[in-house]
Structure 1
Amino acid sequence: MRHLSEEELEQAIEDAQSADETRLVRRLCFIKNLYQGDTRKQAGRRVGISRSTTRRWARAWNDDGVEGLRPRFGGGRPPKLTPTQFDELCGILEEDQPWTPQAIHALIEDRYDVTYHPAHLSRKLRAAGMNYAKPRPMDPRSPADADEILAERLTEALGEDDHDTEEDDPVVLGFFR
């Protein structure tokens, strides 16, 4: 059934492309191939779909035109936490740092009664701009003047105190295997 003229169909394809509706563009190209005289099988082969899909798309076009071809399902499982809950979680994590991964999982389960796979939760947190990090506190055994001691020892090791002549070869430090 010809719901649109060829010019209107071409305009519908351009509109779908500008709206970044790639799935609709593909379906409209299938219809355009039918308009140009292809059989359903040939038109389907050109856009890379199966025979059963050509039947569904042709029926959707005949019943409702462009709107019949518009995809209705965005795909994917809905998130376990609502966007508001996830924002609240991120606020809690930023406020009371540091958190271990196990503590984050326990918090989510206690507060929202939801569980996530550890790899998926880390992906979600990275996408929100958060990263797991290990805090590195100062070693309590190190002396308060550790930087001065290091500088003094380096000076001694490099022999910088007794640079009387300029003919001395410079000392090069390195690590070799």
Structure 2
Amino acid sequence: MSGDRRKEIVRHLSEDDLDRLLAESTDEKLTERLIFVKRLYKGATLEDAADDVGRSSATGTRWARRWNRGGLGLLMPNFGGGRPPKLGEEQQQRLLELLREGQPWKKQEIQHLINEEFDVEFHPAHLTTFLEKLGLSYAIPRTKRPSRP
């Protein structure tokens, strides 16, 4: 199939407005979508415009459709930012207090403490990431040697 897939694009904003928004943008998602729309304004095909921002042609088609329906308001993602954390702010503070009281901790002990205290289970691989986000780090405990102080 070798058709020219140029998409009629509704000009909700002028090119000058697009350029101004691009210059002011600090949001990576907004910037990539504005570049995509600008490329379409300049006459690029959907595939080329999507490829320029590292996206598939299917994503480009979806973005163009949303832009045509409602401009920038519909083009930006509308998700809420992901799944809420397993432990709320107060629970995280309580965990930090508990961990400070009983140092040093092993990862398995921390996992058990979280399960017992908050009835929450973390995958062992995620526990490290979670603890780092709390500003904690860990070291592997060394056995005491009589020859070393």
Q: Under TM normalisation by the shorter chain, which class is it?
A: 0.7 to 0.9
Partner of 2:137: 130
Detail structure 1 runs of 4+ shifted over 6 Å in the superposition: 135-138
The aligned length equals: 139
The structure with higher relative contact order (CA 8 Å, sep 6+) is 2
The answer for unaligned runs of 5 or more in structure 1 is 148-177
Q: In the alignment, which of 45, 57, 62 is matched to residue 63 of structure 2? A: 57
Separation in 2, partners of 1:102, 1:41? 49
Q: Structure 2 CA distance, aligned partners of 1:40 and 1:85?
A: 48
Instruction: State the distance in 1 between where 2:122 and 2:20 align.
Output: 45
Counterpart contact for 1:41–1:54, Cα < 8 Å: yes
Alignment RMSD (CA, Å)? 2.7
TM-score of the pair, normalised by structure 1: 0.66
Measured in 2, the distance between the counterparts of 1:119 and 1:42 equals: 39
One-letter code aligned to 2:137: M
Match of 2:11 among 2, 22, 36: 2
> Which digits, 9 at most, give the CA deviation of each residue in 1:19-65, with x for residues without a partner?
2x111111111100111112223322322322221111011111221
Cα distance change on mapping 1:114 and 1:11 into 2, 3 Å: same
Q: Does 1:25 align with 2:34?
A: no
The structure whose Rg is larger is 1
Work out the percentage of aligned pairs sharing the same amino acid.
42
The one of 99, 102, 119 equivalent to 2:108 is 102
